[in-house]
Every structure is written in C-alpha cells, then in structure tokens.
Amino acid sequence: MNIRDLEYLVALSEHNHFRRAADACHVSQPTLSGQIRKLEDELGVMLLERTSRKVLFTQQGMLLVDQARTILREVKILEEMASLQGESMAGPLHIGLIPTIAPYLLPHIIPELHRLWPKLEMYLHEAQTHQLLAQLDSGKLDCAILARVKETGSFIEEPLFNEPMKLAIYDEHPWASRQEVEMHELAGEKLLMLEDGHCLRDQAMGFCFQAGAREDTHFRATSMETLRNMVAAGSGITLLPDLAIPPEHKRDGVCYLSCTNPEPFREVILVYRPGSPLRSRYSQLAEAIRAKMSAYYQQEPAV
C-alpha cells in the first residue's frame, strides 16, 4: 500500500466511476482498477460491490475512504511544513476556481501574481463548488477561490472582494435604453438561470425571489456564455456577475443595466484548510488579489 493507492481510492469515491476517477488521477482505467483490487487483496477486505452500471462501496470500503482522506490530509500538512524551509512564495500551488469566476478573474490577477512571485508555480483547477471543497478537504488543492456559501464555513475564509451583479436584457427589451433598474421592478419577471450545481444560480435566485421575480423553468444553462447567448436571442433576461460584463452598455445584442435598492452581489473569497502551515502564503495571496481588485473597481467606469 502506498499514498498513490489511497489517492485512487478517494478519487473513485468522489467520481463513482472508474474512468472518470482514472482521468482525475492521470492514469489509465486498468491501472486504477488493478491498484484498487491489489489494495483489497493487501487489506483482506472487499472495498467495492462491482456491478456493470455503477460503483458501490461496501461498509468497510466507506470507512477506509474516510481514513484515507485523513491520511492524505496529514501527508499534505507534512508537505506544506517541508515547503516552509524554502521561500514562502515559491514552488507549486494548486488553486481551485469555480467556472463563473475563473475565466473572468484570472486575466486580471495572474500577470500581477507572476510579477510579485516569479518562482510561484500556479496550477489552476476549474470545477463547481462542491467538487472544489471536496478536493480541498482531501488535500488535492491548496486553496480555492469561489463565492461564499454556507459550505465554506468549515474552512478558513479570506475575503477578496464583493462582485456586483447586473441585469442582462436583449437589445429590444423595453428597458434597453435605461442605465439601471430597481430590483422591485423585476416583480413578475421570469429570469433565465444556470443549472443546478452552480452557486451563482442560488445567489441570483435569492435576490430575484426577494424582488418577486420567478425562474423560467423551461431552460437552464450549463454556462454563463450559454446564458448570455440565450438573452441575446431574446429568450429572456438574467443576472450576471460584474467581471463577466463588457465595459459597453450594449454588446452583441445584450444590454447591461445596474441594479439598485438593493444592489445584488456575491462575496468572492479564498478558502484553505484550517491548521495549514502555509497560512501566511494564502494570506499574502489573498492580500495581493484584494489590492488588484480594489484598484480595478476604483477605475471601472459605470455601465
């Protein structure tokens, strides 16, 4: 038994699928399957109920997965302690980001982070919130940048910035000539939303429901760009986060309006495991991002 075998076991529990688990571990499916079977032989217990349709863990298997996660977390702490012997902002750093933040935030911060710490090797991983938190907990990620949700409360949270949301409407909408809209005006409107699993969906829906708006249940987008294209096609209106919005009031058939009374927003944070020896590293990273985004919002023109 070795650490890699435990990583295979945890990956299989997270993905419940041999091929997807193998892809996540960057090995072939036969390699992962063979090592799991070898682990069963070494331990003398059956970890899985093998069926042709899905992966089912036995009771002993689930207990061993929990223990494997604990071991991998401790191994990560050892690696972090060892890294403190060198430069605090050098070497590999695995950062997770959610899809509604990654493509819009990274162009603003990556050049600055490279300038500040040229020896820092950043590996960027994009996934939905629940996947990032599981990977963070297991030690696969060092830290993650996402929107604050109740599930992040078990980690150390470093606030980065508050990101406003704006209303996206098609260019022939009756409000297209306006610059802003008060939230109560959305009462009775149907809004397009992302599919389940995106925390932005829950956050946007919270503001919309409070205003008396409803979700258009006939369509749920897999990405923000799909959502934007559906708005441009005149299929509805939606809320989008500020970093995903162009500087122009109108572009590609979509108009963007500021929202007031109240202004909807999401809290973007950096999270990491409690007790991590690299707390100072993550604090420095968070401070650099805060400074960069503070400067961005001070110079951002009003839409």
Start-end of CATH 1.10.10.10 domains in the chain: 3-82
Instruction: Report the pLDDT value the prediction gives residue 140, as an integer from 0 to 100.
Output: 87
Start-end of CATH 3.40.190.290 domains in the chain: 87-303
Q: Report residue 234 as tokens.
A: 């005149």
Instruction: Report the pLDDT value the prediction gives residue 157, as an integer from 0 to 100.
Output: 97
Instruction: Report the pLDDT value the prediction gives residue 85, as an integer from 0 to 100.
Output: 53
Cis peptide before 262 (omega within 30 of 0): yes
Say how far apart CA 110 and CA 115 lie, in whole Å.
9
In this prediction the pTM is 0.75
Instruction: Report the pLDDT value the prediction gives residue 32, as an integer from 0 to 100.
Output: 92
Put residue 217 in one of left, alpha, beta given phi > 0 → left and psi -120 to 50 → alpha.
Answer: alpha
- Domain 3-82's class? mainly alpha
Strand runs labelled E in the chain: 48-50, 55-57, 91-97, 120-126, 143-147, 156-170, 180-182, 190-194, 214-221, 238-241, 250-251, 254-260, 265-272
- Give the three-state DSSP class for 182: strand
Instruction: Report the pLDDT value the prediction gives residue 303, as an integer from 0 to 100.
Output: 46
CATH number belonging to domain 87-303: 3.40.190.290
HSE-CB for 59 with a 13 A CA cutoff: 0
Say how far apart CA 157 and CA 170 lie, in whole Å.
37
Residuewise pLDDT in 10s, the chain (303 residues): 889 999 999 999 888 888 889 998 989 999 999 999 999 999 988 899 876 667 889 988 899 999 998 888 888 777 776 665 555 688 889 999 999 999 999 999 999 999 999 999 999 999 999 999 999 988 889 999 999 999 999 999 999 999 999 999 999 999 999 999 999 999 998 899 998 878 888 888 889 888 999 888 888 998 999 999 999 999 999 999 999 999 888 999 999 999 999 999 999 999 999 988 888 899 999 999 999 999 998 876 544
Q: Convert 207-232 to b/e letters by CB count within 10 Å (16 or more is b).
A: bbeebebebbeeebbeebeebbebbb
Say how far apart CA 25 and CA 127 lie, in whole Å.
15
